[in-house]
Amino acid sequence: MKVLVVGGGGREHALCWKLRHSPSVSTVVCAPGNPGIARVARCEPVGAEDLDGLVALAVREQPDLVVIGPEAPLVAGLADMLQRKGLKVFGPNAAAAQLEGSKSFAKKLMTEAGVPTACYERFTRANEALELVRRWGAPIVVKASGLAAGKGVVVARSVEEAEAAVRDMLAGNRFGSAGHEVIIERYLEGEEASCLFLVSGETILPLASSQDHKALLDGDQGPNTGGMGAYSPAPCVTPEVADMVLERVAKPIIKELGRNGIEFIGTLYAGIMITEDGPQVLEFNVRFGDPECQPLMARLRSDLGEVLLAAAEKRLHGVELEWDDRAALCVVVASQGYPGTFEKGQEIRGLDAVEREGVIVFHAGTAERDGRLLNAGGRVLGVTALGDTVREAQQAAYRALGHLDWPGGFYRKDIGWRAIAHEEGAA
């Protein structure tokens, strides 16, 4: 079959790479794609937020399945537009995508469904939000309610830091319309994990566990980012924890959406904090995580095209996923200055040598000009390796990164440290 993938980041490269290796898939088209994706798919220069252009492309290509990667077109209603043209789509409609598009909507739905999550209040006025910050004290969490590319969350260690975040979002317009409403949450102590599910109506199929590293710097220090690396499986997600997340989080939230007349078809991502009181939801996303998608696709043995088509056609029930027993780990290489301002157009060399080490290099923010590979975004590459343990996968990824020739690139040196601590503690 022919599959059209929407997006041009690391997540979409991982999806296109896996689809290209799926026996059921003969052709992969990606819009807009990137230089890495162009090695496994035919790229069409239509932006991921050009909804009319994407619909016109899909009508022209007539794919058997459209897979929507990023959150912005999902929230904007691309799935609805494509379905009205009679196309099969893997990705939720605009109503369901509000789980990610509005943290206020998500928190309200969690409360109604009885899903465990941090105590919170929402604000549109800075003075009222500042009053709560001073009353609750720190540590405390301040979130832009709308889409902010993974950078709209501030885990404030001091009242002053929280006050600055509130002012930035509500008064300073730091995140535009995404920050016109903020959520202030109690801080949760524990270990964070990513629990993803393929959802098709009432059928919920768990994916392998994974863990992201959102902080910019080693030791989970520095500002939040879209993700500096990830690995799978996550040892902190024991079978007991996985079962609790399915029963207490995924099933109730999908059921609550149904009670509101909203059907969900796509990927449900639950960002979970594993606390002393059990798993609690930090956030919901409505697509594959980036960079969690990269190690997940490296481990998946099932035919991805077949599985996603089954979800789109509401016949996911009975589908079982097969996984590589090995661990996979992805290290994100970012432009110096990310998540703030950074210089674009720097040449990246040495990728052939990196790939000769047996890793997979997923492109996220790259461009090609005159035969040269350049950085074109904040997060630029995702170097992904497999190993019998997380430590072995980590060693393979960093060994390969030693061949990268890009002085303007930056990456954490400790991706996987929590899992390795679990592994060595159990040994």
Q: Which residues contact 108 (CB under 8 A, 6 or more apart)?
A: none
Percent of the chain exceeding pLDDT 90 equals 90
- Measured N-to-C along each axis, helices 159-166 and 126-136 cross at an angle, to the nearest 10 degrees, of 160
pLDDT digits (tens, 9 = 90+) for 337-391: 999 999 999 999 999 999 999 999 999 999 999 999 999 999 999 999 999 999 9
pLDDT of residue 224: 84
Tell me what the mean pLDDT of segment 153-161 comes to.
92
Domain 2-91 indexed as CATH 3.40.50.20: yes
- pLDDT score of 179 more than 80: no
Percent of the chain exceeding pLDDT 70 equals 97
Tell me what the mean pLDDT of segment 84-113 comes to.
96
**Structure token digits, residue 165:** 């975040």
Confidence label for 172 from pLDDT (cuts 50, 70 and 90): low
CA distances from 96 to 79, 110, 202, 265 (A): 10, 13, 14, 9
pTM: 0.94
Integer-rounded Cα Rg, in Å, for the chain is 20
State the DSSP code for 347. B
Tell me what the mean pLDDT of segment 9-18 comes to.
98
pLDDT digits (tens, 9 = 90+) for 65-77: 999 999 999 999 9
CA distances from 216 to 55, 63, 228, 252, 340 (A): 36, 38, 6, 33, 11
Confidence label for 427 from pLDDT (cuts 50, 70 and 90): low
279: three-class secondary structure by DSSP:
strand
At residue 407's C-alpha, the angle toward residues 402 and 413, to 5°, is: 45
- Mean predicted lDDT score pLDDT of the chain: 95
Question: CATH fold of 190-312, please?
Answer: D-amino Acid Aminotransferase; Chain A, domain 1 (3.30.470)
Pairing label, strands 265-275, 191-200: antiparallel
What are the structural domain ranges in the chain? 2-91, 125-180, 190-312, 327-426
Confidence label for 145 from pLDDT (cuts 50, 70 and 90): confident
Tell me what the mean pLDDT of segment 40-63 comes to.
98
Q: What is the Cα 253 distance to its own chain's centre?
A: 19
pLDDT digits (tens, 9 = 90+) for 114-141: 999 999 999 999 999 999 999 999 999 9
- Report the DSSP beta bridge partners of residue 224: 215
Tell me what the mean pLDDT of segment 206-228 comes to.
94
H/E segment holding residue 111: helix 103-113
Say whether the peptide bond before residue 233 is cis (omega within 30 degrees of 0): yes
The helices-and-strands tally (H runs, E runs) of the chain is 15, 23
Confidence label for 177 from pLDDT (cuts 50, 70 and 90): low
Tell me what the mean pLDDT of segment 250-278 comes to.
97
Compare 150 and 235 and report the one with higher pLDDT: 235
Q: Which residues contact 102 (CB under 8 A, 6 or more apart)?
A: 145, 146
Which CATH number describes the domain made up of 125-180? 3.30.1490.20
**Structure token digits, residue 71:** 């959150």
The C-alpha atoms of residue 224 and residue 50 are separated, in whole angstroms, by 28
pLDDT of residue 149: 64
The C-alpha atoms of residue 244 and residue 249 are separated, in whole angstroms, by 8
- pLDDT score of 302 more than 60: yes
Q: Report CA torsion sign: 102, 381, 409, 73.
A: negative
Range with the lowest mean pLDDT among 42-51, 152-161, 279-288, 325-334?
152-161
Confidence label for 425 from pLDDT (cuts 50, 70 and 90): confident
Residue corresponding to tokens 């950085």: 375
Compare 174 and 194 and report the one with higher pLDDT: 194
pLDDT of residue 152: 81
pLDDT of residue 171: 78
Which CATH number describes the domain made up of 327-426? 3.90.600.10
Confidence label for 216 from pLDDT (cuts 50, 70 and 90): very high
The burial class, CB within 10 Å (0-12 / 13-18 / 19+), for 198 is buried
**Structure token digits, residue 364:** 């996220």
Tell me what the mean pLDDT of segment 184-189 comes to.
94
Tell me what the mean pLDDT of segment 99-128 comes to.
94
- pLDDT score of 167 more than 80: yes
